[in-house]
């Protein structure tokens, strides 16, 4: 077992200094983004360039034996039609944005660009028409490190929360992701074993609103290795790891398995730069999960936990803060099959925004969060440079990283990791679709893809923070169904009287039966 603490030194890549925070502070500086030269407006003046991570994501070759179940969300009527006109499309392919129309029929996008029968569709009272007026349409966003069951407050109370109350909290969080424009989520641990699975199945049945979801159970840790009281399963030794993983898959029905391999500075005596797992335990957990066709994600901040993850084919590495030269080279060698999801907002907010919740910046610095943020940013910049796929998402649901603020990760990618805004959007759309192993049908605005998209009143290529403003997310569509649209969106631009269509004439949603047949 690797329990030796690691103090990062100068790495072979250029170290990033936390003293330069003024240059990357998340608050937008006065005048930033102003001037026509910085405002992409169609392909002729597109300055962002081709996002480099398009090729990195496309290059990934994930094991088809680990393909998750292809879940579908029920209740979209096959004859429903939605037309979005005059929208500025960021299609998720990496191509420059372009003006056009989008036609959705049933669950899928059928036409992008020029809709041949647009005028007839606009006159059809059974077609929902949204007039874009140049607003931005982009694919639904994705979060690669999701905790539906975190309560946004005192996590130590999660273990005490009754199952009924906890299920209501979980359903509310699922809807919050969708309210925030997120239509894809990769489960990173559940506070109780079945909460994620039940939420996933309810979303797919059309019973509750939420994103497309791959479910997890409680994270697996070594004895005395829990990060939050009452929400961890313990296993000691390879056989115990195998047994726990097998139970999760066969008895609970998870899509992913989570290992908690290193500590967290906010937890006493569980340092973030210490790995608590052995090679044998990691290999046992991963091989057992893979034998059932399930993937493994790991809380791995420590240097040794990162190298152990790569050595034993952990599929998704969370945090990876203290990656050293050896780990970086190993990640680069395995970059066609391993994702890194840093959860940067946890580090940033813990260091700078937790004081109102009783954790002042001085305490965070003493605990090591300043040091970890410095190490993480340096390592993640190098990963991005080397073509290792880094995805946004993570650890939302704590008091100072509340639900509903998920798009902050995209801002951190731009301001801290030197992603362009377009690269950040690609990571959150096509990148998370690749993680879901559904990039052939999710994460892009293209014909035959599922109709998951967001109409934004603003330009995220000019100001990535617009995606954090729920009031600017004017229309949210998932699976060809409108989740959010204000009343004014239904007013036909071509109607002089401004008549709102009669909702009774629209196709009724397909209702799932209330009583399950056993």
C-alpha to C-alpha distances, 395 to 146, 422, 430, nearest whole angstrom: 7, 23, 21
User: In sequence order, what are the residues at sequence separation of 6 or more whose Cβ sits closer than 8 angstroms to the Cβ of residue 35?
Assistant: none
Please state which CATH number belongs to domain 81-139+445-505. 2.30.40.10
Q: What is the mean pLDDT of residues 108-128?
A: 96
Cα separation, 491 vs 501, whole angstroms: 7
Q: What is the pLDDT of residues 360-407, one digit of tens each?
A: 999 999 988 999 999 999 999 999 999 999 999 978 998 899 999 999
β-strand partners of 131: 85
Burial 404-428 (b: 16+ CB within 10 A, else e): bbbbbbbbbbbbbbebbbbbbbbbb
Sign of CA dihedral 438, 441, 444, 450: negative
What is the distance, to the nearest Å, from the Cα of residue 318 to the centroid of all Cα atoms in its chain? 12
How sure is the predictor about 347, in pLDDT bands with cuts at 50, 70 and 90? very high
β-strand partners of 433: none
Question: Considering only 18-22, 470-474, 503-507, which range has the smallest mean pLDDT?
Answer: 503-507
Residue 374 has what pLDDT? 96
Residue 497 has what pLDDT? 37
Q: What is the pLDDT of residues 277-326, one digit of tens each?
A: 999 999 999 999 999 999 999 999 999 999 999 999 999 999 999 999 99
Please report, for the chain, the start and end positions of each structural domain, with discontinuous segments joined by +: 81-139+445-505, 141-435
Instruction: Give all strands (DSSP E) within 154-285, no chain letters.
Output: 182-187, 212-214, 219-221, 232-234, 256-260
pLDDT value at 501 more than 50: no
Residues in the chain: 518
Residue 137 has what pLDDT? 98
CB 350 within 8 A of CB 343: no
Q: What is the pLDDT of residues 153-212, one digit of tens each?
A: 776 777 788 999 999 999 999 999 999 999 999 999 999 999 999 999 999 999 999 999
Mean model confidence pLDDT for the chain: 88
Domain 141-435, CATH among 3.20.20.140, 3.90.228.20, 3.60.40.10, 3.40.980.10: 3.20.20.140
**Which two three-digit tokens encode residue 500?**
């709102």
**Which two three-digit tokens encode residue 459?**
């330009």
User: In sequence order, what are the residues at sequence separation of 6 or more whose Cβ sits closer than 8 angstroms to the Cβ of residue 362?
Assistant: none
Residue 493 has what pLDDT? 54
How sure is the predictor about 3, in pLDDT bands with cuts at 50, 70 and 90? very low
**Which two three-digit tokens encode residue 210?**
């939420």
Single pTM value for the model: 0.90
Helices then strands, each counted (H, E), the chain: 15, 17
CB 89 within 8 A of CB 97: yes
pLDDT > 70 in the chain, percent: 84
The string of DSSP letters for 468-484 reads G-GGGEEEEEETTEEEE
Cα separation, 491 vs 210, whole angstroms: 26
Q: What is the pLDDT of residues 27-41, one digit of tens each?
A: 543 333 333 333 333
Q: Is 424 helix (H, G, I), strand (E, B) or coil?
A: helix
Which candidate, 203, 190, 211, places its Cα nearest to that of 256?
Answer: 190
């Amino acid at each position: 077992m690797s329990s030796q603490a690691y103090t990062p030194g100068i790495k072979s890549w250029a170290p990033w200094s936390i003293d330069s925070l003024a240059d990357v502070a998340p608050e937008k500086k006065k005048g930033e983004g102003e001037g026509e030269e910085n405002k992409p407006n169609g392909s002729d003046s597109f300055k962002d360039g081709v996002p480099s991570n398009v090729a990195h994501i496309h290059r990934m070759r994930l094991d088809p034996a680990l393909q998750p179940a292809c879940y579908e969300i029920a209740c979209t009527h096959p004859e429903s039609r939605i037309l979005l006109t005059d929208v500025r499309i960021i299609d998720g392919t990496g191509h420059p944005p372009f003006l056009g129309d989008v036609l959705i029929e049933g669950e899928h996008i059928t036409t992008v660009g020029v809709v041949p029968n647009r005028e007839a569709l606009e006159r059809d009272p059974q077609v929902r028409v949204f007039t874009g007026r140049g607003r931005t349409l982009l694919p639904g966003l994705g979060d690669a490190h999701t905790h539906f069951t975190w309560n946004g407050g005192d996590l130590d109370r999660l273990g005490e929360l009754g199952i009924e109350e906890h299920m209501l909290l979980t359903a509310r969080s699922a809807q919050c992701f969708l309210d925030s424009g997120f239509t894809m989520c990769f489960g990173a641990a559940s506070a109780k074993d079945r909460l994620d699975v039940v939420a996933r199945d309810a979303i797919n049945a059309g019973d509750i609103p939420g994103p497309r979801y791959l479910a997890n159970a409680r994270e697996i840790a070594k004895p005395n290795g829990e990060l939050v009281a009452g929400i961890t399963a313990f296993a000691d030794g390879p056989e115990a790891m195998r047994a726990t993983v097998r139970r999760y898959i066969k008895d609970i029905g998870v899509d992913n398995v989570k290992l908690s391999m290193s500590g967290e500075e906010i937890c006493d005596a569980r340092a973030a730069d210490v790995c608590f797992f052995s090679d044998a335990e990691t290999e046992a957990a991963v091989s057992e999960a893979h034998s059932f066709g399930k993937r493994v994600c790991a809380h791995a901040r420590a240097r040794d936990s990162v190298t152990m993850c790569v050595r034993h084919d952990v599929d998704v590495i969370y945090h990876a803060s203290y990656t050293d030269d050896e780990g970086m080279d190993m990640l680069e060698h395995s970059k066609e099959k391993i994702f890194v999801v840093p959860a940067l907002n946890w580090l940033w907010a813990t260091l700078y925004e937790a004081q109102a919740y009783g954790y002042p910046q001085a305490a965070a610095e003493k605990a090591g969060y300043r040091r970890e943020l410095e190490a993480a940013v340096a390592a993640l910049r190098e990963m991005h440079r080397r073509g290792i796929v880094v995805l946004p998402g993570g650890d939302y649901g704590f008091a100072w990283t509340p639900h509903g603020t998920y798009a902050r990760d995209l801002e951190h990618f731009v301001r801290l990791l030197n992603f362009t805004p377009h690269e950040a959007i690609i990571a959150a759309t096509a990148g998370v679709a690749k993680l879901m192993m559904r990039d052939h049908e999710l994460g892009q605005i293209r014909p035959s893809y599922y109709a998951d998209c967001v109409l934004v009143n603003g330009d995220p290529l000019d100001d990535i923070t617009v995606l954090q403003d729920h009031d600017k997310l004017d229309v949210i569509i998932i699976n060809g169904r409108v989740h959010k649209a204000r009343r004014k969106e239904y007013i036909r631009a071509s109607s002089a009287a401004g008549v709102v269509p009669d909702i009774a004439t629209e196709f009724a949603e397909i209702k799932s039966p209330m009583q399950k047949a056993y």
